[in-house]
Amino acid sequence: MRRIAVVVNPIAGMGGRVGLKGTDGKVAEARERGAEQRAPDRAREALDSLRATSQEVDLLTYGDPMGASLAREAGFDPTVVGHPEDPAETSSEDTRAAVRAFVDHGVDVVGFVGGDGTAVDVAETLDELDDETPILGVPAGVKVYSSVFGVSPRAAGRILGTFSETEPAEVNDIDEDAFRGGEVVTELRAVATVPVADQRQSAKQLGGGTVETLAEGVAEGVRPGVTYVLGPGSTVGAIKEKLGFEGTTLGVDVWRDGELLVADAAESDILAALGEENVVVVSPIGGQGFVFGRGNQQLSPAVVRRCDVEVVASRRKLDDIGTLRVDTGDPELDAELEGWLKVRVGRYERRLVEVVS
């Protein structure tokens, strides 16, 4: 019987849909903006998948709100190895305490629900203990760029219950203050042992090729009266420049008829600005292929359902990633987005690429 530990960072991802690009040190502001917890639903989805995948599981977890009740709701009878100091305000130290307790109980793998910051807490704690227990992340944060996560909560649950081999993977984190200022500053924080699995995401590759003609093609094709929701990244940033404004490099901007309606928009701003016809323009993350669900949670299911979707990417990026991925947090929408999509790769050229979740 496999001994699997699961710990949930309940505040992970709260800053995404309200435009904060992260939750580290911003929980109060996220709540003031109306943010709702995202991690518990993601955790439950992963636990349901784990339960369906394997009945031979001895599950260990941490006290509420860091996993106990969610595990019971999924049908497990978990061993609770400890409790957060203040359940109303959990911290990174609670995550680290949970990992130490899991190691004391001799678990076979540590699953965690959160983003890159949570991954750092887990991996650094294992490093301090000189312990090589495998880890796997259930993606729930705003920053999910390290290669220690499943491509979706469902995939993470399946991997936890079925993996047989492990390999090393990098844990990187992004400086959130720099990120909010439009700059990506990454730092290698740890090297962790992770399950070998096709549905574990690759590390984000920073940088890319020229997208000059692609941007010109999109700019030439804009239609009067249509609202364009322009996602983050350098590729879409080139389109914003062709439209005549300096966009938010790592945020979402809303533009219509030559006017920037909203800069660095949160989900609520986008919904308020949408018109009768809307197009969301996004580019996949290099090395991973995600078009929704990584670094652009402002583009929520409610936003995507009201828009036509245009995906743009350089040929080199598509060659590297192969397929596109979606993880909107709404399984029904993910299923609707699956299939073959024409991705713009030049002024006129498009390439058929498969979308999976």
pLDDT per residue as tens digits for the range 314-334: 888 888 888 999 999 999 999
Query: Binning pLDDT at 50, 70 and 90, where does residue 139 land?
Result: very high
Cβ-Cβ contacts under 8 Å for 130 (sequence gap 6 or more)? none
Q: Is the pLDDT of residue 336 over 90?
A: yes
What does the pLDDT look like over 121-130, one tens digit per residue? 999 999 999 9
Which residue reads 């911003």 in tokens?
26
What is the end-to-end Cα distance of the chain in Å, rounded? 29
- 185 and 169 in contact (C-beta within 8 Å)? no
Q: Is the pLDDT of residue 312 over 60?
A: yes
What does the pLDDT look like over 209-264, one tens digit per residue? 357 888 988 999 999 999 999 999 999 999 999 999 999 988 999 999 999 999 99
Torsions phi, psi of 123, nearest 5?
A: -65, -40
Can you give the pTM of this predicted structure?
A: 0.65
- What SS3 class is residue 211? coil
Cα 156–chain centre separation: 13
Torsions phi, psi of 201, nearest 5?
A: -75, 155
Torsions phi, psi of 288, nearest 5?
A: -115, -45
What does the pLDDT look like over 260-297, one tens digit per residue? 999 999 999 999 999 999 999 999 988 889 999 998 99
Residue 288: its pLDDT value, please?
A: 86
- What SS3 class is residue 236? helix
